[in-house]
Amino acid sequence: MGNYFQPEIETASREEILAIQNEKIVKQVKHVYENVKYYRDLMDEKGVKPEDIKGVEDIHKLPFLSKADLREAYPYGLLGTDLKNCVRIQSTSGTTGKRVVAFYTQHDVDLWEECCARAIVAAGGSKEDVVQVSYGYGLFTGGAGLHGGSHKVGCLTLPMSSGNTERQIQFMMDLQATILCCTPSYAAYLGESLADKGCKPQDNCLKAGIFGAEPWTEEMRRSIEKSLGIKAYDIYGLTEVSGPGVAFECEAQSGMHINEDHFYAEVIDPDTGEVLPEGSKGELVFTSLDKEGFPLLRYRTRDICILTREKCACGRTHVKMTKPMGRSDDMMIIRGVNVFPSQIEAVLLKEGYTPNYQIEVDRINNSDTFEIKVEMAPEQFSDIVSINQAKEKKLEQAMRTMLGIGPKVRLVPPKTIARSEGKAVRVIDHRKLHD
């Protein structure tokens, strides 16, 4: 069944995977303890010795690492090998604060690119394909990861980077790109720009898209699939663990397979740190089993998801994670209610609006204000105030039902909300800006 980039590992039995993980973790913990003082101190503080870790079933004994640790240890404090053995530095996007940097040896770059190659093949990619990489190139891992993966598969790689939408479209059409890789928000923008030029979805040669690096809803997936005439696949990753390709979707599209031969995943209760059983929703924690440059153990991602080992129709055996619908720190607490931007996106697309919106939160006279600006598509646009007001009321009601609290909805004319070429900025929280 299906195509795999590395069939022997992607479809290995659970016992085989476990054996690989057990062998790697014992070596990795010993290596980290000997080479990374920052983590050795944390282990000593907790009274854990490398000999206590005999397999992945002992991982829960190890201390956690958080983004705060990475910032404290910046830049070299968590290096796992001599700097002269490293060949690459990448950095996080800084979505939630100061950027952190990660180091890669050639071995680390290779395993990362292989993970991206698995994702491309899972999306139907082969040597026959032209892969347009429209993730940003540079310090951001999106461009480099998919670029390397595309090479490994042997696809013809179009290293577009993000931005310059006119040129993206020209090359997409002229060079007959078949697979598009970018953030979902940029894919939506490319779809919109093609339509503006009078191009129909069937006019391009694209068959698939590999989209990730930010949360996106099933509604957004359907909207992109329609506008570009493709099948859209999710891909997940983070710089601290390597980059995109930590997990990826197969044709079954019922969660993303985590590349478990390299990254061991746990889900924990974010408040107590307790490991939760399979099927529970919690914070995803990764242990890098064989990276050399930046070998993080038990790194808390702040991404909230569920893990499942249910058999997958694609034949892959690796554990699957659900789409993280935002990280714990994307969650807004408005008038005491937890709100994720993804819930708002789902309502908007269900109600027939575009995915162009912006959420603004403030605190005035000790009370939270909550406003959502929603862009109308040209055919929805009306300058009759009463028509717009009725639509706003309807959306406010739908939001209240979904969220449990009512925002103020303001419909704005077409093309008035800035488009994103990378990760979209959905929330402006003035309360945080005042702090």
List of residues contacting ligand ADP (CB under 6 A): 92-96, 141, 212-215, 234-239, 301, 303, 323-324, 327
Q: Which residue has the tokens 């924990």?
A: 268
Nearer to Zn ion, 193 or 308 (CB): 308
User: Which H, E and C letters describe 102-129, residue by residue?
Assistant: EEEEHHHHHHHHHHHHHHHHHCCCCCCC
Please give the torsion angle defined by the CA atoms of residues 51, 64, 239 and 237, in that order, rounded to the nearest 10 degrees.
90
Q: What is the DSSP string of 332-376?
A: EEETTEEE-HHHHHHHHHHTT--S-EEEEEEEETTEEEEEEEEEP
Find, among 119, 114, 110, the residue nearest to 3 by Cα. Answer: 119
Nearer to ligand ADP, 29 or 181 (CB): 181
Contact at 8 Å (CB) between 342 and 297?
Answer: no
From the list 27-35, 107-115, 235-243, 308-316, the region that binds Zn ion by CB under 5 A is 308-316
95 binds, among Zn ion, ligand ADP, none (CB under 5 to 8 A by kind): ligand ADP
Would you state the structure tokens that stand for residue 375, as one six-digit string? 């862009």
369 binds, among ligand ADP, Zn ion, none (CB under 5 to 8 A by kind): none
312 binds, among ligand ADP, Zn ion, none (CB under 5 to 8 A by kind): Zn ion
Residue 12 DSSP label: -
Of residues 237-256, which lie at the interface with Zn ion (CB under 5 A)?
250, 252
| Side chain identity at residue 221, one-letter code | R
Q: How many residues bind Zn ion (CB under 5 A)?
A: 5
Residue 314 makes contact with Zn ion by CB under 5 A: yes
Nearer to ligand ADP, 93 or 308 (CB): 93
Nearer to ligand ADP, 94 or 378 (CB): 94
291 binds, among ligand ADP, Zn ion, none (CB under 5 to 8 A by kind): none
- The nearest distance, CB 211 to ligand ADP, in angstroms, is 7
Q: How many CA atoms lie within 13 A of 211 on its CB side?
A: 32
- The nearest distance, CB 342 to ligand ADP, in angstroms, is 9
Nearer to Zn ion, 249 or 421 (CB): 249
What whole-number distance in Å separates Cα of residue 305 and Cα of residue 253? 15
Residue 316 makes contact with Zn ion by CB under 5 A: yes
Give contact residues for Zn ion (rule: CB under 5 A): 250, 252, 312, 314, 316
